[in-house]
Amino acid sequence: KLPSFVQIKEVGPRDGLQNEKKDLPTEDKVTWIDMLSNSGIKEIEFSSFVNPKWIPALADAREVGKQMKRNPDVRYSALVPNQKGLEFALEAGIDGASVFMSASETHNRKNINKSINDTFPVLKAVIEEAKQAGKYVTGYVSTVFDCPYEGRIEPESVVEICERLLEYGADDISLGDTIGSSVPSQVENLLEKVMVQLPKEKIIMHFHDTRGMAIANIMTSMQYGITHFDSSIGGLGGCPYAPGAAGNVATNDVLYLLHGLGIETGINDKKIQEASLFIQSKLGKVLPSRSLLASG
Ligand code: HMG
Ligand code: MG
């Protein structure tokens, strides 16, 4: 049985832009986010408060946070790796802090420059402080299926990280197929193990679409009762510390699937189309979303 309503978190302004070579002016980001704010989307990950030397494309996170027009029906969240990032993020007026780490030791070190064990106390402090400040907290776990450096990741190590992040106070967990390698049987295997410990309402699936499997994986996740997914307009994106990984599953393609199945999202397809064409023209390249291409 499929759900009647699915909640989409738009991660394009963060995951979508973090790997872009082209320097997109802050003003264009803000205009784009304002378009997304008026599309019916209920959560937008608008930027990252990480070290700008690591992710130069998002060095203007504070300006974006201050300049975008807030729709009171939208939760504006951002990636926060440590307390310094949280300080900047609170200044910029975030509603939600998204902490992140990887289930793979090597990917964790490459992405955030620490061992998994050394990451726990950092994220615990961020989560506790963000909760005290009244913010929503999502805990991302990356490379939940496969790691570009270590190969297959055991579901048990993912479950352990999820439990710890929830114990520290995270409100929900986003499970990242960082390199877009999984197939539905891997999704089933992981969800069966994770759902023993976590209620399905607290699980978000975050699929990159490197091999075109994301839509099949979303379908499988919904059959397991998952109703929260991350996606990116036009399929923009990728993790700079995961070589060869393509963008997130395209919001456009997810909406084509969901609306075609009669599943409500509250999101207006036409406004998503307009926001896609806007960012496509600003970046000067054709975005990979299949349904965007088909819509001409
Ligand atoms: P580090 O270099 O180990 O940090 O970076 P440090 O604590 O040793 O500090 C070094 C310098 O960075 C210092 O400056 C700090 O002040 C500064 P200096 O004294 O040398 O001038 N610094 C900061 N500046 C601004 N904001 C901050 C901050 N923190 C330290 N927050 C750190 C550690 C985690 C910050 C770094 O490794 C980093 O920024 N990594 C980010 C990597 C990243 O953003 N990756 C992509 C996002 S994750 C992803 O895409 C996966 C996901 O989509 C899910 C999935 O697909 O699986 C979420
Ligand atoms: Mg990602």
Percent of the chain beyond pLDDT 90? Answer: 94
User: What pLDDT is attached to residue 20?
Assistant: 87
Per-residue pLDDT at 219 exceeds 80: yes
pTM: 0.97
For residue 252, how far is its CA from the centre of ligand 1 (angstroms)? 30
For residue 191, how far is its CA from the centre of ligand 1 (angstroms)? 29
Q: Are strands 203-207 and 43-48 parallel, antiparallel or unpaired?
A: unpaired
For residue 165, how far is its CA from the centre of ligand 1 (angstroms)? 19
> 60-111: per-residue pLDDT in tens?
999 999 999 999 999 999 999 999 999 999 999 999 999 999 999 999 999 9
Q: Report how far apart, in Å, the C-alpha atoms of 69 and of each of 57, 172, 175 are.
A: 21, 26, 29
For residue 243, how far is its CA from the centre of ligand 1 (angstroms)? 18
> 246-268: per-residue pLDDT in tens?
999 999 999 999 999 999 999 99
Closest CA to ligand 1's atom 32? 112
Q: Are strands 146-147 and 151-152 parallel, antiparallel or unpaired?
A: antiparallel
Q: Which residues are catalytic?
A: 239
- Point out which residues pair with 10 in neighbouring strands: 44, 231
User: What pLDDT is attached to residue 242?
Assistant: 76
Overall average pLDDT of the 215-224 stretch = 98
The distance from CA 230 to its chain's CA centroid, rounded to whole angstroms, is 5
- Point out which residues pair with 78 in neighbouring strands: 47, 97
User: What pLDDT is attached to residue 239?
Assistant: 72
Q: Are 92 and 78 in contact (CB under 8 A)?
A: yes
In three-state secondary structure terms, 95 is coil
Per-residue pLDDT at 200 exceeds 80: yes
What is the distance between the alpha carbons of residues 199 and 240, in angstroms, rounded to a whole number? 31
- Ligand 1 site-directed mutation target among 45, 50, 91, 172, most atoms within 8 Å of CB: 50
Overall average pLDDT of the 25-34 stretch = 98
What six digits make up the tokens of 109?
């070190």
> 67-78: per-residue pLDDT in tens?
999 999 999 999
What is the distance between the alpha carbons of residues 185 and 68, in angstroms, rounded to a whole number? 40
Closest CA to ligand 1's atom 13? 51
Q: Angle 57-30-47 (CA atoms, 0-180°, nearest 5)?
A: 45
Q: Are 97 and 135 in contact (CB under 8 A)?
A: yes
> 112-135: per-residue pLDDT in tens?
999 999 999 999 999 999 999 999
Q: Which residues line ligand 1 (CB under 6 A)?
A: 15, 18, 48-51, 54-55, 79, 81-82, 84-85, 100, 111-113, 140, 142, 176, 178, 206, 208, 239, 241
Residue 241: which pLDDT band, with cuts at 50, 70 and 90?
confident
229: left (phi over 0), alpha (psi -120 to 50) or beta: beta
User: What pLDDT is attached to residue 32?
Assistant: 98
Q: Tokens 């980001």 identify what position?
A: 29
Overall average pLDDT of the 280-296 stretch = 93
Closest CA to ligand 1's atom 9? 51
Percent of the chain beyond pLDDT 70? Answer: 100
> 133-178: per-residue pLDDT in tens?
999 999 999 999 999 999 999 999 999 999 999 999 999 999 999 9
User: What pLDDT is attached to residue 245?
Assistant: 86
Overall average pLDDT of the 264-291 stretch = 96
What six digits make up the tokens of 213?
């499997």
Overall average pLDDT of the 229-253 stretch = 90
User: What pLDDT is attached to residue 240?
Assistant: 72
